[in-house]
A and B are shown apart, each in its own frame.
Chain A
């Protein structure tokens, strides 16, 4: 249950905050949720990772489908990711997931856990 709540809270807080704040607010969101919910390090990392991977990955996918992959195929050549839009979406998710996971891990150390 905590896992589910953590993921949902992290994703929601990140999305809401980024409507007004810079992208790196996702780190603060993941940190705060992890600090409040209080799970162990591994679980916190996974929650932060999954929440942000899903948020960015899904958002990107929705945008990309509506765009018929026009932009993503170009940016995937620029970065370079072999022009594969799938790779750009994956990369987008991984970047956010890594930041989210690490921030959540940091947050998990704020509280001393029982387990």
Chain B
């Protein structure tokens, strides 16, 4: 044996293997373990699914009670035919895991503040530890634990959740490491067992995404430093003058059963009190989380049967948020969009009826200032005495580093989100607790389970009555001809502008004084106009006896109601056109005003060219149009010119006013107070703002012209991005129109995440599409198979058949049999 060369060579070889078996740092990110990742028998190649993959299988599990058949159709949509509910939800969990395991675990990790555990403290320019701290301090885990109790206290939902969890785990347990989803291999970690808590966490994540509306308490508090109470009413009006509410104007409401009392000290301690707050980190859901839904009665349709439509607008991500399925439990038969991570169909239909949701946008998230005795936070002043604080220690594991422990003070309101450790950057001695409806235990599964099993309007009412958070506009239509909408959630009864600003937390006076009874939530059944609709606008006009606070976009609702009012003899095809309509109703209101204020005789040749394009624009935000690009930039500049000077008075974060506020002011007269540039001696008006903003617009347009980004599609750059932001796993630069305030509400990374149209004829005729595909595996042809269909505004016909028909149906490609072992 030649010792020296042997040792040298052995060291080099071992070193090579070790390097290839380690995640190597590249910038702030890390590579996969390359040796394993590239191994055809272990790594990414194992995720390369054959193009003609055979999904047929015979599966045996001890936890099953009977025999079930799953047909997978040509779009890889499973149709579960089970003998009982337990097996149906077990199989749903199994299939969610089989096709979407990584995303369902990743999203619940995000909700639970566990991203550092898999991504490290910092990666790719993101501070995951800070993000985790934020979610822990928001009380996500606290809320999920409370909801878990509620889910498990109800025998029915407990059984559903248990069966679902069993199914997910049945998949995980038999999953060899080499077959784990690609993202686990990229990030080098392993899936862990599923639990009912994870299901609760997933639902809390949706609550966070949707019930954060109107979360501007700090910004509004800061605004009090700059603006008078009267100004605040002008800049942030409670209701737009021109809004077309969900429940039409003129509706008469009963006397409210709760009349919240304004605290006597409100003027001095609340409305006029000032504070400056700059939280260390505040992650907010997308302001544009919204949705459209509507249902038209048989009197307005060609078939004589109601048609229900829904398109929830959420973040556009790969793998898709939604997963299509049919679930036949023996007692119910539903089809629709499901959430990988939760049992039952969320938006869909069954043999008798269809349902859908839009976000209510009501503000159920308020902050209270806590007075602790000292920085140990052990006692706080409440109702004239020192109250002992409870604490929650939340341990954040960090990849490659010691754990971080968040010592969170729990008050009567909820967790102290900002304290001297997780600080308000300006004022380290202040403590702010969060009271959020999602902290409470609530059982949203009961609602979806109930809807899956609903036969008629009363079943629907019963199903949604227990729904607490995030508040939704539940829409309904049945084969028997009923159409209905109802805003449901548990909403605090607030006095006017309660919770708009930070509130004193030293006594009960400023607390929520009770909840609006479910019976006093707003709704409509079979209105004479023949349709019901919602698009996140305010639910009712000021005749509704409770104060409505939150985030309520105005324009989509107006155009939907206008169009539905005009339409008759409606067909599903007409509904597809409406759902994908790119007409910009906001421009219809705002553009004539902008043009009216623009002095058009003094423009440069270049400016005139752009102006001509804008004037000849058909007000549609279609992909190839330059008009929407010019309009959007000009409007943004117009807003900046109007509000920018007032808002520059402080460096603190403020809430930018709604578009409708400026548009309505422009419609009134040219001398709006805020049109004046307070930095100049002259008194400017909208004429000056129009010229100023247009000249700035022209500069931007010149640059866009050079970069070939004038066409709306190129400017907007809509993409469906992978949850980890990996471009290779994303679908970018999709040719799709639409945008803000447009029925087709597709923006850069946000938009219609599931489009559904259901005609409730004798044989249900339904269409749907989402920007993704049934497989979560980037190595599968089914990963993004719906994206182009979605971008083109087209739909897939949904195959809704019973078991006997399924056996003969040519669109069914594969069969998976599940039986008890």
Q: How far is the CA of A41 from the CA of B9 in the complex (A)?
A: 10
Nearest Cβ on chain A to B99's Cβ, whole angstroms:
16
Q: Which of B52-78 contact A (CB under 8 A)?
A: 52
B42 and A56: CB pair below 8 A?
A: no
Residues of B within 8 A of A (CB-CB), count? 41
Other-chain contact of B35, A24, A68, A110 (Cβ < 8 Å): A24
Q: Which residues of B contact A18 (CB under 8 A)?
A: 39, 41-42
- CB nearest to B6 among chain A residues: A109
B485-519 vs A, CB cutoff 8 Å, 1 = contact: the mask equals 00000000000000000000000000000000000
B186 and A105: CB pair below 8 A?
A: no
B36 and A23: CB pair below 8 A?
A: yes
Nearest Cβ on chain A to B56's Cβ, whole angstroms:
17
Quick one: given A18-B42, A71-B44, A71-B47, are A102 and B35 in contact (CB under 8 Å)?
no
Q: Is A3 an interface residue (CB 8 A)?
A: no
Q: Is B574 an interface residue (CB 8 A)?
A: no
A99 and B20: CB pair below 8 A?
A: yes
Q: How far is the CA of A63 from the CA of B35 in the complex (A)?
A: 17
Q: Which residues of B contact A70 (CB under 8 A)?
A: 48-49, 51, 778-781, 783
Q: Is B726 an interface residue (CB 8 A)?
A: yes
B1-32 vs A, CB cutoff 8 Å, 1 = contact: the mask equals 11001100110110011001100000000010
Residues of A within 8 A of B (CB-CB), count? 41
A68 and B6: CB pair below 8 A?
A: no
Q: Is A43 an interface residue (CB 8 A)?
A: no
Q: Which residues of B contact A64 (CB under 8 A)?
A: 45, 48
Q: Which residues of A contact B31 (CB under 8 A)?
A: 79
Q: How far is the CA of A27 from the CA of B781 in the complex (A)?
A: 34
Q: How far is the CA of A67 from the CA of B182 in the complex (A)?
A: 15
Q: Is B50 an interface residue (CB 8 A)?
A: yes
Nearest Cβ on chain B to A28's Cβ, whole angstroms:
10
Q: Is A46 an interface residue (CB 8 A)?
A: no
A110 and B1: CB pair below 8 A?
A: yes
- CB nearest to B50 among chain A residues: A66
Q: Which residues of A contact B5 (CB under 8 A)?
A: 41, 109
Nearest Cβ on chain B to A86's Cβ, whole angstroms:
14
A74 and B12: CB pair below 8 A?
A: no
Nearest Cβ on chain B to A29's Cβ, whole angstroms:
12
Q: Which of A87-105 contact B (CB under 8 A)?
A: 91-92, 95-96, 98-99, 102-103, 105
- CB nearest to A23 among chain B residues: B39
Q: Is A2 an interface residue (CB 8 A)?
A: no
Q: Which residues of B contact A110 (CB under 8 A)?
A: 1, 6
Q: How far is the CA of A19 from the CA of B177 in the complex (A)?
A: 12
Q: Is B361 an interface residue (CB 8 A)?
A: no
Q: How far is the CA of A72 from the CA of B48 in the complex (A)?
A: 8
Q: Is B34 an interface residue (CB 8 A)?
A: yes
Q: Which residues of B contact A59 (CB under 8 A)?
A: 40-41, 45
Q: Which residues of B contact A24 (CB under 8 A)?
A: 17, 20-21, 35
Q: Which residues of B contact A15 (CB under 8 A)?
A: 41
A71 and B1: CB pair below 8 A?
A: no
Q: Is B413 an interface residue (CB 8 A)?
A: no
Q: Which residues of A contact B1 (CB under 8 A)?
A: 109-112
Q: Which residues of B contact A92 (CB under 8 A)?
A: 38, 40, 45
Q: Which residues of B contact A77 (CB under 8 A)?
A: 727-728
Q: Is B43 an interface residue (CB 8 A)?
A: yes
Quick one: given A64-B48, A77-B727, A110-B1, are A105 and B13 in contact (CB under 8 Å)?
yes
Nearest Cβ on chain B to A93's Cβ, whole angstroms:
9
Q: Which residues of A contact B186 (CB under 8 A)?
A: 78
Nearest Cβ on chain A to B547's Cβ, whole angstroms:
51
Q: How far is the CA of A99 from the CA of B19 in the complex (A)?
A: 11
Q: Which residues of A contact B38 (CB under 8 A)?
A: 56, 60, 91-92, 95-96
Q: How far is the CA of A113 from the CA of B45 in the complex (A)?
A: 39
Q: Is B184 an interface residue (CB 8 A)?
A: no
Q: How far is the CA of A79 from the CA of B24 in the complex (A)?
A: 12
Q: Which residues of B contact A19 (CB under 8 A)?
A: 41
Nearest Cβ on chain A to B43's Cβ, whole angstroms:
7
Q: Is A75 an interface residue (CB 8 A)?
A: yes
Q: Which residues of B contact A84 (CB under 8 A)?
A: none
Q: How far is the CA of A88 from the CA of B36 in the complex (A)?
A: 14
Q: Is B597 an interface residue (CB 8 A)?
A: no
Q: How far is the CA of A96 from the CA of B727 in the complex (A)?
A: 27
Quick one: given A95-B38, A106-B10, are A63 and B45 in contact (CB under 8 Å)?
yes
Q: Is B271 an interface residue (CB 8 A)?
A: no
Quick one: given A24-B21, A78-B726, A99-B17, are A67 and B35 in contact (CB under 8 Å)?
no
Quick one: given A68-B781, A95-B34, A96-B38, are A23 and B43 in contact (CB under 8 Å)?
yes
Q: Which of B424-466 contact A (CB under 8 A)?
A: none
Q: How far is the CA of A92 from the CA of B182 in the complex (A)?
A: 16
Q: How far is the CA of A64 from the CA of B779 in the complex (A)?
A: 10
Q: Which residues of B contact A78 (CB under 8 A)?
A: 186, 726, 728-729
List the 4 closest pairs (A to B, CB-CB), nearest first: A71-B779, A59-B40, A77-B728, A109-B6
A selection of 20 A-B contacts at a CB cut-off of 8 Å is: A23-B42, A24-B17, A31-B13, A59-B41, A66-B51, A67-B51, A70-B48, A70-B778, A70-B781, A71-B182, A74-B729, A74-B779, A78-B729, A91-B38, A92-B45, A95-B20, A95-B35, A109-B5, A112-B1, A112-B2
Extra contacts besides A23-B43, A56-B38, A109-B1 (16): CB < 8 Å: A18-B41, A22-B42, A24-B20, A24-B21, A41-B5, A59-B40, A59-B45, A64-B45, A67-B779, A70-B49, A70-B780, A77-B727, A99-B13, A99-B20, A102-B16, A110-B1
